[in-house]
Chains A and B, each alone.
Chain A
């Protein structure tokens, strides 16, 4: 079997996959090639893996341009800057459509995660709705798409809320996620968004450290700058604690099986591991909480995989609240990349490779 990957040449994920498949024939096709319709011809059974378009400025420029952003060539390569999500998503959807069309005329090409499911998963309010319709518990969404800071305050007022999560529709890995709280006379916005006010216009960047904003003007600026990126307001779920740390799970499902269940602990509610949060040990939690609680996490991960049946693998973030009710927080078609995490010396990609071969052979 041949192996084809759609991704960036410098992609860590592409490199890991190449390692996992061993000596099998491997070819990488860039998003630039896809955009101009340059697909390889397929004459033997070929596995197609679509991987993340992130972490590459040229691809970002390509996607926003495809998405209709006219001034893409004036963009500077500002590392970590958060902007143009909506254009990016449109462009990304177009690329996925092209891949879909390519697959349709090449029955020998077998895609691991199908483009439509990827597209759906990259639209958070939409994918959450899919899950809700399937009876899977997800946080309540108070507003699908915010229009401004004033509206946000009104929504909170109308719903009697003092705290809310704000999430960009097309982001991943906690990028752009905001925790917003207000009391009678105070406000607090906690987020990995870093507001830079130097120069003509304020800019937003991703930061590896949680930032805290208490000044209403800063909070307003950040929220308003995030509005064009499509922001929704979501219920704040207080995650169950382990040793007084917020805890949730990144479950990697492979062929509908919850193979990796990775607990994550944090001093604040954002638990993503690249933010220097702590990797937990599942046995510890089964011991400290109950295996029943952890089973709920596994079960719900399988339910999510069933709804997103076009995804052969995915990372699913699941939290339990303090009463052990599970909630699905996110499904990420590229969330299977777990750095330095192994089961029996095998990483997620190696598990995927074996499971995939079995599936295709059948």
Chain B
């Protein structure tokens, strides 16, 4: 983090240290207050999840008598663990598929010269214009015909490849020098091996950005999983949480516990991978 924001020169650094501008202090304070407001919903969610039913009306942030009872209760029947597994499994499979196919297609479009290349590229790119919501009815029909409703494959299949990922990977493969690929060709490697062994390792930052985006997007996805799953065992975490919250009605401490359980995994991953994630978002945003 510090490397990203390092002062441009040591002179500037010295100047910064000496003059603590009142204006700057105010800007910092306002930004800090704004940041605290941003995380307030999260803080109150965790705080309430640690309160017993009787304490919910006490709106103080720090619980008077914190307890993990709600977590024990919510986790005891194993539903949340199941939904957690479903979300993770689905997101993982979709991410692997995207990393493989989006890269393969992006690479082919960037590094192979053949008639129809431009047409394929435009055709794939044009799918960005089609909203998911327009496709869910035909997907539902397709799933009903092939028996994919209420299966993992049913949740996964629409996202196995994305135009966004393909475009992102194509942009990055274009900056891989042809010399490396030619050298490998001279060495007699086949095209698949060249892509997998030579080109892929050169675009690892792009792959990690794509992987983070795809995983997060699918882990938190709500609309399609809500449609394609009927049985509780197949719910993903967001869909399961929603049904759980409706069922709990006004037991807000239980709902907040469920919401916290749905939030903790992504926050933990963020704390570990903060720098990669911020860089990945920047990378994808700039190229896309």
Task: Say whether A and B bind each other.
Answer: no
Interface set of A (CB-CB < 8 Å, partner B): none
Residues of B within 8 A of A (CB): none
